[in-house]
Structure 1
Amino acid sequence: MTQRGAAWESDAISEETIRRESPQGGVADVVEPVVRSGQRVRTLVEVKSRAARLAAGLVSLGVGPGDRYALVMRNETAFLEASLAAAAIGAVPVPANWHWGGSDLGHLLRDSGSKVVIVHSDLVAAVEAQAPEGLIIVEAEVPEEVAEAYHLEEVTLTGKYVSLETLVARHEPVAAVTDAPPLGVIYTSGTTGLPKGVLRNRVPAGELPKLLQASMGMLKLNPGGNALLPAPLYHAAPNSNAMFAAALGMNITIMPKFDAEEFLCLVQEHRIQSVQMVPTMFTRMLRLPQEVRESYDVSSLQAIVHAAAPCSPETKQAVIDWFGPIVYEYYGGSEVGPYVFCDSAEALAHPGAVGKPAYGSDVRILDIVTGEPLPAGTPGVIYGRGIDGWPDFTYIGNHAKRREIERDGYITVGDIGYLDEDGFLYLTDRVSDMVISGGVNIYPAEIEACLSRLEGVADVAVFGIPDEDFGESLAAHVELLPGAQVTVDDVRDFVATNLARYKVPRVVVFDEALPRDDSGKLFKRRLKELYHKPA
């Protein structure tokens, strides 16, 4: 057996024997865990060796302990390698949403203070247009599976910058300086304003075993298991999932882009056991024809974990009916990590709940004005304390904002919700989305949930717009299912029938598609901008 163990793994994990079950139920020969992306397969040892070589290359470009470097890349093996390189030199990776471009990308590159950016060659022009002076660009080749997934043709290196492969080939692996999996700077999605960079402290060596243990329980990751990564690795939840999976020595399969049937195919082919998803993926899979869904063997799945966006009780019930009671949910934030957790039985017993505190975490509901604790059933601002061992954080360049969102060690990411009598947490809306119309507080999420039940509605966004008489009034942007015939009056009448009349949207617009990112988060900011006249 090839020698295992990288310096960013804990001793207990790096020495653990990785075994894979044979089709007959016994134990097959000892094998190395691998990383798959498309048809490419590398052992995890090779991936970590390449990461250590890339780390040496980054050092040659001036990146050292505490320095940051950005990643503008789609899902593939090199993304994982570029992220893991940070641990070998004590640097900090900054994954960027490659969809951004424009001012959001420019803000991330400047605000993060990144010395280097590693970018897929077809995205180089977008980076060049926003790169601050002195930023060093490293090109990464676009692999075949990424080009195919995104319909890219004849993508080649520009040749203007050093390539990632050149850096790997030129350097010997560096000796690591930390044994913790890298938790990079994650920029918030910027759904209501400019993205904020969440800079997390390093995990102390003494806290790492406890953090890994909690992660194994909450993320359902096990050493030697088979994990599938279908969500964008630039997002906090799938990024953390990938880093811990690598640290635990798991077999990792990366999807360049989510496709519902391809997901089922990969589960069957690689006997996937654990996967982290978002509710929009559930919706797409549930829309597959019944005969397609039933044609794949998904019995290997032991855990489907979801987070990042709300999941309706109806959707969760349908997924549990399909896959069995292996569906888990957690809630938290980039800032504080996961801190409430819910299994299938709890979800069915408490429809709509996102979980209750676990692994040393805690949650409080405070009055939005007074900051006083609120009783069960009363909505207020959600404040959470992370699981044991989760590192503290600050916002890059905005320590005041960090202090502003904390009360007695509890952090809020701006969500509104309530606890039931059993301690389960329910989300009702975001503080920034609350509409005050004629002095009345209105929570758009309630109206969105209502309209999602209207036949023919695929997606909906409700938000406040300027109103001379009432300060704000409600607008609803609606995306319909193909062929659906829904009118403005249908929308208004449905809300009036099910909710109070003051919650009926004054403006109703039908859009071809609502602006959501790959994790399902809605960019209401883009819709609101349509109603604000330039100064």
Structure 2
Amino acid sequence: MPTITEQARATPDKPAFIMGASGEVVTFAELDAKANQIAQLLRASGIQTGQHIAMMLKNCREFIEVVFGCSRAGVVFTPISTHLKKEETAYIINNCNARLFIASASLADVATEAAEHAPELLRKFIVGGETAGFEDWQSAVASQPSDEISDQSLGVPMLYSSGTTGKPKGIFRAPQNTDLDAPHPLKLVGAYYGFSDVTVYLSPAPLYHSAPLFYNTLNMTGGGTSVIMDRFDPEQALALIERYEVTHSQWVPSMFIRMLKLPEGIRERYDVSSMQRAIHAAAPCPIDIKRQMINWWGPVICEYYSSTEGVGFTLIDSEDWLAHPGSVGRPLTGVPKILDDEMKVLPPGEVGQIYFDEIGRFEYFDEPGKTDEAFDTRGWGTVGDMGYLDADGYLYLTDRKNFMIITGGVNVYPAEIEGLLVTHPQIADAAVFGIPNEEYGEEVKAVVQLLDHDEAGDALAGDLILWMKERLSSVKVPKSVDFMEQLPRMDNGKLYKRHLMEAYK
């Protein structure tokens, strides 16, 4: 990722980013100096160009500073989900060959136990507190000079798959150009969305996720200002849009749902008219939810479909979506292909696995077998999503291949049922999956999170099934509905469905 040195020289006192909850401002000059100090610290710690570090940080100023420090030191950095347990955290630290580890003090318990099982670490740092065996990050950085290191080169992130269907996999793309002024990977996307030096970008999601990481760096390297939320809160998000006259933002569908379920008086209290582009991705958005958002915010809602692996990229704006409801658009990069189980191309309207042609090759770090499985003999790549193309070339998602339910020989896609359930006035979130059934092989199961968990019970479960029978074909209606106070959906919008599925085996 390019540096922000040019912006620091041109507009040193302009905010590079603002922390939404506290209002703390970090200018381009301050960010540039801190990035130099971090690059110096990396070298002083023995971390050389091409080596790896890992970071398990909540949304904070240090996260952004580490990113830009690594980016000018040629270091590969791996942000780790703050929701992982010690075993998965240790696995990622070891798997990415990290030599240095930085963690938030609020995550000290997990970080300490994970680090104990990562013998190759040279140094361990804590942010925002004291933890035995960890050095204080702020003090270590402050002790370094703010001069540029002598061997600057472009560092890159190596993110891990969310692990929603299995063990996380490191996704690595070596930089094509190690010069610090190399184009940002999302430069073409930024041009489409109109990012510029006057952009004010609201970032409500965890920075360890690929989209917030890449869009924030895209915005800041272009001279724009980011407003970063510590964590998503629906009313606070609306207040920040009004306060900072936000022009661009990025969301996941579960955030839309939570904002729409605010009382009408709260929704109408805030002025969101400054918004030019409200971008969303990461999970299928129910059609009714998206219509409500367009009715509320106007035709500024934009959607894209891609992946951390970078296998293809499709785009669709509000006007196009209203003409093709449910679509994730047409390709900006890559050519979508829909393949059957025999790897033959399917005609428009037929559901199959989504592949993309004309893409660059990525690798799952240190897992050549899984890398090969992601590509066919023609070099077309996939991340395992299912969908179809219409006659006009618009792509539609159905669900991940791993989540498809086969009941009595019929394919059922949970995303459609989940999309319906979240429109029910009593439901905050929903998960649908298959469980064993002796007669049909699998049956459809629903687990829902209510706005008020005290309403859970057999009577409501029966009412929900009757409500779905009025709106779905019989084969898609769940045979039973259970209630959970909090579904395992992370702040990045991903539902960790495998944890639920394992409980019902």
Q: Same fold (TM over 0.5)?
A: yes
Residue 35 of structure 1 is aligned with which of 11, 17, 32? 17
Deviations 1:3-58 (A, max 9, x none): xxxx93499x759966xxxxxxxxxxx95343222232121221122112112111
- Out of 273, 278, 285, the residue aligned to residue 311 of structure 1 is 285
Counterpart in 2 of 1:25? none
- The answer to whether 1:371 aligns with 2:337 is no
Aligned to 2:398, the other structure's residue is in SS state: strand
* Alpha-carbon distance in structure 2 between the residues aligned to 1:464 and 1:319: 30
Partner in structure 1 of residue 490 of structure 2 = 517
State the alpha-carbon separation in 1 of the partners of residues 60 and 407 from structure 2: 47
**Residues 449 and 276 of structure 1, relative CA distance in 2, 3 Å threshold:** closer
Match of 1:341 in 2: 315
Does the 8 Å contact 2:443/2:478 carry over to 1?
A: yes
TM-score with structure 2 setting the length: 0.90
Deviation at 1:453, TM superposition (A): 4.3
Match of 2:83 in 1: 99
Shift of 1:162: 2.1
- 2:373 is matched with 404
**Alignment partners' CA distance in 1, 2:312 and 2:57:** 25
Q: Where does structure 1 differ by over 6 angstroms across 4 or more consecutive aligned residues?
A: none
Q: Map Cα deviations across residues 387-434 of structure 1 (whole Å, 9 max, x no partner).
A: 8xxx64211121121111113333211110011122111111110011
Equivalent residue letter for 1:284: R
What letter matches 1:509 in structure 2? D
- The answer on whether the counterparts of 2:311 and 2:382 sit within 8 Å (CA) in structure 1 is no
Give 1:457's aligned residue.
Answer: 427
Contact 1:88–1:176 (CA<8 Å) still a contact in 2?
Answer: no
2:500 alignment counterpart: 527
What is the alpha-carbon distance in structure 2 between the residues aligned to residue 14 and residue 529 of structure 1?
A: 50
**CA distance in 1: counterparts of 2:328 and 2:236, whole angstroms:** 28
Farther-moved stretch of structure 1 (460-469 vs 76-85): 460-469
Q: Match for 1:381: what amino acid?
A: Q
Structure 1 residues 385 and 84: alpha-carbon distance in aligned structure 2, compared to 1, 3 A threshold: farther
Partner of 1:204: 177
Distance 1:478 1:108 in 2: 31
- 311-320 or 521-530, larger mean C-alpha shift: 311-320
What's the % identity of the aligned pairs? 35
Say which SS state the counterpart of residue 418 (structure 1) adopts.
strand
2:448 corresponds to 1:474: no
The aligned residue for residue 270 of structure 1 is 244
| CA distance in 2: counterparts of 1:510 and 1:9, whole angstroms | 48
Cα distance 1:125–1:480, how it changes in 2: closer, same or farther (>3 A)? Answer: closer
Match of 1:125 in 2: 109
Equivalent residue, structure 1, for 2:200? 226
Cα shift readout 1:242-282 (whole Å, capped 9, x = no counterpart): 22122212112211111122112222222221111111111
Once the two structures are superposed, what CA deviation does each residue of 1:64-108 show, in whole Å capped at 9, x if it has no partner?
111111111011111001111112111111000111123221221
TM-score, with length taken from structure 1: 0.86
Q: Which runs of 5+ in 1 are unaligned?
A: 1-6, 19-29, 143-155
> Hey, what does 2:391 align to over in structure 1?
421
Pairwise CA RMSD: 2.6
Cα 1:277/1:64, change in 2 over 3 Å: same
Structure 1 residues 450 and 316: alpha-carbon distance in aligned structure 2, compared to 1, 3 A threshold: closer
For the residues of structure 1 that align with 2:152 and 2:268, how far apart are their CA atoms? 46
Q: Distance in 2 between matches of 1:112 and 1:379?
A: 36
Determine whether 1:384 maps to 2:339: no
Greater shift in the superposed pair: 78-87 or 219-228: 219-228
| One-letter identity of the residue aligned with 1:119 | A
Q: Which residue of 1 aligns with 2:474?
A: 501
| Matching residue of 2:264 | 290
Q: Structure 1 residues 514, 176: closer, same or farther in 2, change over 3 A? A: farther
The alpha-carbon distance between structure 1 residues 300 and 443, as it changes in their structure 2 partners (threshold 3 A), is closer
